Structure 1
Amino acid sequence: MNRTVRFHKTGGPEVLRLEDVPDPVPGQGEVLIRTRALGLNRAESMFRGGDYGVDPVFPSGIGYEASGEIEALGAGVTGLAAGDKVSIVPAFAMTDYVVHGELVVAPAHAVVIHPESLSWEEAASVWMMFITAYGGLVDLAGLRAGETVLIPAASSSVGIAAIQIARMVGARPVALTRTSAKRQPLLDAGADAVIATTEEDVVARVRDLTDGAGVRVIFDPVGGPALADLVAAAAPGATIVLYGRLDSEPAPLDVGAVLFKRLTIRGYELFEITLDEARRRKAVDFVRTGLAEGHLTAVIDATFPLDAVVDAHRHLEAGGQVGKVVVTVPR
């Protein structure tokens, strides 16, 4: 028997339980992994709360990211071996696979031998945030050297990843955050400038930072009423990539600005990258290179032991973190 994180109804972090379940067995094209660390994301929080767009099937497991060692391989798996140190790319639905537990099964296409320089905690942190940011900024928006990119909710793990990827391609990341409390941590994380959205005029600051030109790429997980400022701050021909809806309030839209600025507002989710083999391989190679060359670094805000997984989810939802929340799994 092994312990796995499960829940029997949707709700807050308190619905999570550590339960003993039979050891899983890898099937065709699957890998059995003894985990060492688990990465938390807003996706798990929304799934647990019943607000993810995919309904859990009870009792439900949870989790997209983990790192650990391979214990066994299912039939047909090549390129991997027992004992390999690996991490898991979110390239599956949580209704098909869940990886927040001590012993888990994952599809082989989602299992990556990560750079040896990474700790278990770092390896459990990199794929969701860096591939999400890569997909929106590079694959979809084609962010180029010399351009300015706006990054709302910049202190999240994906926001930090977006800052790093922007710098990696030679662009200028401007971080948006609600208050100035996180200004210095975001500058330390690589932001070229920080705008506190509840304290400053976002549109005026963007004009100042871009000599009145506006920005061509905006990478937004928030939506809601703040979308109006993003549209106003966009340059003609800009692309606004929406990859979340942290604010569920209706988003006002200046149709005239969208029309006459020729804006593209593009909904995006990670899986259009990770479920496409060619795009997934390109993304993984990009992230590997960035990690190996030191352009990309996992920024971990806090770690919690597996027994404190409920506290880890509470910390994630409190919104005060800068970087990733990770759960460690004892041997």
Structure 2
Amino acid sequence: MARRVQFDRLGGPEVLTLRDVETVAPGAGEVRIRVDAIGLNRAEIMYREGSYFDRPRFPSGLGYEAAGVIDAVGAGVAGFTEGDSVAVVPAFLQSEYGTYGDHVVVPAAAVVPRPADVDAVRAAAVWMAYITAYGPLVESGEVRPGDHVLITAASSSVGLAALQLARHVGAIPVATTRGRDKKQRLLDAGAAHVIVTDEEDLPARVKDITGGKGVRLAFDPIAGPGVETLAQGIAPGGTLVVYGALDPRTTPLPNARSYPALTTRTYTLFEITTDPERLRRAVAFVGAGLASGSFVPVVDRTFDLADIAEAHRYMESNGQVGKIVVTVTHPTAGS
């Protein structure tokens, strides 16, 4: 038997239940992983609540990230064998696969080797965050050394990864946070400047920081009407990248009547994780950063799998700085 987190209706953390289910053998193109750690993401809250683009099919599992060891390989899988230490990257729908459990089946295409010097907890905190930041800050080629980059909701795991990637390519990261309680932690995490949006005028502070020029790129998971404020701090010819929808309100398109010419676009890491060649490049880039010490995943707190509902409540509280990770304890032989 395996243990899986499932839910039978939309709702709050209380709908999540840890159940004993039959262990499933991997099919063609799949692997089964003995999970040691699971990375939590906002997308899983939205999926559980029914506000995500992908809708649950009950009873539904959930989860995009995990780290562990392969314990079974399906037909047609090349490059992986039983006993390999691996991590799971988000490259599938939660309505089809999920990582919340002690043994899970996922597509082999969504699995990457785990570096020997990266433990399971940190490995579960890497791929959603760093690949999400990698696309606009690195792969697109829009950000160059000396450019200012505005990173909103910077205390999230993606925001912290973006701070590190911006520093890595020689850019100047400017972080935002709503309250000043996280300001020093963001400075310690690599932000060159921190704007406390509950207290400061964001466009004015951006202009002050950049000498009136504005930022080259704004990287935003919030969306909603606030993008109009962000647009006022972007340099002519710069880019606004919206990669999330934390604000459910309609997101307006900044226009030329109010702002200098800029490019506005949406972005999702699935553009990279579902393209084998782009994923190969992203994994190579992030892996090199992990090996050199330039990239250090920030883990705020860990929970046990049995406390998954409490872990979701903590994520909803917005108090964390970095990744929330759930650890999985396996019974020893004979127990």
The TM-score, its normalising length taken from structure 2, stands at 0.96
Q: State the shift of 1:28 in Å.
A: 0.8
- Corresponding position: 1:200 with 2:190: no
Q: Aligned runs of 1:3-152 on 2, under 5 Å?
A: 3-140=3-140, 142-152=142-152
Q: State the shift of 1:142 in Å.
A: 2.4
Q: State the shift of 1:171 in Å.
A: 0.5
Q: Assess, with a 3 A threshold, how the Cα gap between structure 1 residues 75 and 254 changes in structure 2: closer, same or farther.
A: closer
Corresponding residue for residue 275 of structure 1: 274
- Corresponding position: 1:266 with 2:265: yes
CA contact (8 A) 2:7 2:17 kept: yes
Q: State the shift of 1:293 in Å.
A: 0.6
Q: Give the Cα–Cα distance (whole angstroms) in 1 for the partners of residues 142 and 123 of structure 2.
A: 26
Give the letter for the 1:96 counterpart: E
Q: State the shift of 1:249 in Å.
A: 2.6
Q: Give the Cα–Cα distance (whole angstroms) in 2 for the partners of residues 327 and 124 of structure 1.
A: 9
Q: Assess, with a 3 A threshold, how the Cα gap between structure 1 residues 76 and 155 changes in structure 2: closer, same or farther.
A: same
Give the letter for the 1:262 counterpart: A
Q: Give the Cα–Cα distance (whole angstroms) in 2 for the partners of residues 100 and 188 of structure 1.
A: 32
Q: Percent identity?
A: 55
CA contact (8 A) 1:203 1:233 kept: yes
Q: Give the Cα–Cα distance (whole angstroms) in 2 for the partners of residues 76 and 109 of structure 1.
A: 11
Deviation track 1:181-219 (CA, whole Å, cap 9, x = no partner) reads: 100000011000100011001111101110000011000
Moved over 4 A (4+): none
Across the aligned residues of Structure 1 and Structure 2, the Cα RMSD in angstroms comes to 1.2
Task: Give the SS at the match of 1:327.
Answer: strand
Deviation track 1:246-293 (CA, whole Å, cap 9, x = no partner) reads: 1123345542357x6221111111101100111111111111011001
What is the number of equivalent residue pairs in this alignment? 330
Q: Assess, with a 3 A threshold, how the Cα gap between structure 1 residues 252 and 108 changes in structure 2: closer, same or farther.
A: closer
Q: State the shift of 1:141 in Å.
A: 5.7
Q: Give the Cα–Cα distance (whole angstroms) in 2 for the partners of residues 254 and 98 of structure 1.
A: 37
CA contact (8 A) 1:67 1:124 kept: yes
Corresponding residue for residue 292 of structure 2: 293
CA contact (8 A) 1:231 1:257 kept: no
Unaligned runs of 5+ in 2: 331-335
Corresponding residue for residue 221 of structure 1: 221
Q: Assess, with a 3 A threshold, how the Cα gap between structure 1 residues 221 and 141 changes in structure 2: closer, same or farther.
A: farther
Q: Give the Cα–Cα distance (whole angstroms) in 1 for the partners of residues 118 and 100 of structure 2.
A: 19
Corresponding residue for residue 237 of structure 1: 237
- Corresponding position: 1:317 with 2:326: no
Q: State the shift of 1:245 in Å.
A: 1.4
CA contact (8 A) 2:227 2:254 kept: no
Task: Give the SS at the match of 2:226.
Answer: helix
Q: Give the Cα–Cα distance (whole angstroms) in 2 for the partners of residues 221 and 161 of structure 1.
A: 13
Q: Aligned runs of 1:241-252 on 2, under 5 Å?
A: 241-252=241-252
Q: Give the Cα–Cα distance (whole angstroms) in 2 for the partners of residues 59 and 175 of structure 1.
A: 39
CA contact (8 A) 1:141 1:217 kept: no
